[in-house]
Structure 1
């Protein structure tokens, strides 16, 4: 490989679907730190991923797409993730993009819950496509503890699903996704989780205290198979010897939140 080819391989043009979200912001930061050109695929950049409007123009000259698009949906999750994935794959095919990198969630096969069903739909569309892809499943981010406080709230009382989680730093997930884009199509790679298993309602309480929110957190066991799987650790990598574990603990992340970092 000559010098020009090496330089071309070293510097990539990476489009990030959901570039302003919890994971997306970190993906953008890491990609820029690695010297890549970043193309945000967001509504603010003129792209509607659910319809495909504005997508074609943004994918011109792109080497890889990292899909971390997200929406706080339950009943519409399959429709949302299905539409986004279909439009991205179609746009990539037309633009000649050589690699689609997707982020999914650990354990979703066994948790028949709205949001997770949407991610399963996303995975099936991707793995069934005739385009080069890589897929990383990760545990919930540390930020999920804050999000859980808003799921069901009545005044200061927050009802948080009783679930076991192995939260991971969003930046570590972003680093893994950018590394996949640089490496090239790999298929499904080992799952990524945090270094510790926790109960989510405990983390929500700790977040509330750290931020001085004064919330009263009530753990609620969700019914049915989905609730059982959330409680039995299916959403963790505890029994997976092939999983990769991040280094940032929830305590370390929370200390940063308390310090305003």
Structure 2
């Protein structure tokens, strides 16, 4: 197996940690890029140095909140900086993690990710995109956003997938030969889940009562209820289920 040098943007984040781990386990050279390692994809600090000798950028950097305007600005800026610095460094391609259904999104964080895709694709360095379902880890984040002993979680359908599973698929995509004309690949969990029901499983362990709500206040809630953000027929489905993943946590 040939060794490739990967520069991972967002290397210390929820998904990035797994991407670094998977690529390292497979014998590749990995350059972690995050503010913790002295690289800032927004200001550009340390970016040129980190990309020296890199062949592939894996972009899994993300914004920390759901505000659409702030997230859009983050993704637009980071994508532009990665494209420009990648071109100057002679990077062969950029591989990015996106979210299933962003092409249908009209508001919220998913609409910001849609801009992220478009901005990366408009640059000179070739881009490969992997769209993933919401992560198992996202359920805990939903609970963290609420205070108290009761959490109100949307009873909306998803096909939750583990971050590790997404990282493995990203690594495969990053190293596979390009196949022109194929649809944007998708990765999702093995079965459909309801966010509120998954949150109830986690809430029981945390001592938090979870109440399912219709989610009408969420951006594009009607689209979500109709399954717009569920995987397409061509998606790859891979375990574990949310319950299996939860049972394996410390």
Q: Same fold (TM over 0.5)?
A: yes
Q: Note the residue ranges of structure 1 that are not aligned, 5 or more in a row.
A: 1-6
State the match for 2:157 in structure 1.
164
Question: Pick from 27, 32, 41: which aligns with 2:19?
Answer: 27
Question: Pick from 168, 181, 186: which aligns with 2:174?
Answer: 181
State the match for 1:102 in structure 2.
96
Secondary structure (helix, strand or coil) at the match of 2:248 reads helix
Quote how far apart the aligned CAs of 1:130 are. 2.5
Q: Would the aligned equivalents of 2:201 and 2:243 in 1 still touch at CA under 8 Å? A: no
State the match for 1:193 in structure 2.
188
Say if 1:27 and 1:154 are closer, same or farther in 2 by CA, change over 3 A: closer
Determine whether 1:251 maps to 2:243: yes
CA distance in 2, matches of 1:40, 1:51: 17
Quote how far apart the aligned CAs of 1:132 are. 1.4
Q: Would the aligned equivalents of 1:166 and 1:196 in 2 still touch at CA under 8 Å? A: yes
State the match for 2:223 in structure 1.
229
Taking structure 1 as the reference length, what is the TM-score of the superposition?
A: 0.88
State the match for 1:207 in structure 2.
202
State the match for 1:37 in structure 2.
29
1:159-214 CA distance string (max 9 Å, x none): 223321001111111111111221255575321111111110111111111x3333
Say if 1:196 and 1:173 are closer, same or farther in 2 by CA, change over 3 A: same
Q: Would the aligned equivalents of 1:194 and 1:247 in 2 still touch at CA under 8 Å? A: yes
Quote how far apart the aligned CAs of 1:218 are. 4.2
Quote how far apart the aligned CAs of 1:220 are. 4.3
User: How large is the Cα RMSD of the aligned pairs?
Assistant: 1.8
Q: Note the residue ranges of structure 2 that are not aligned, 5 or more in a row.
A: none
Q: How many pairs does the alignment contain?
A: 246
CA distance in 1, matches of 2:218, 2:189: 27
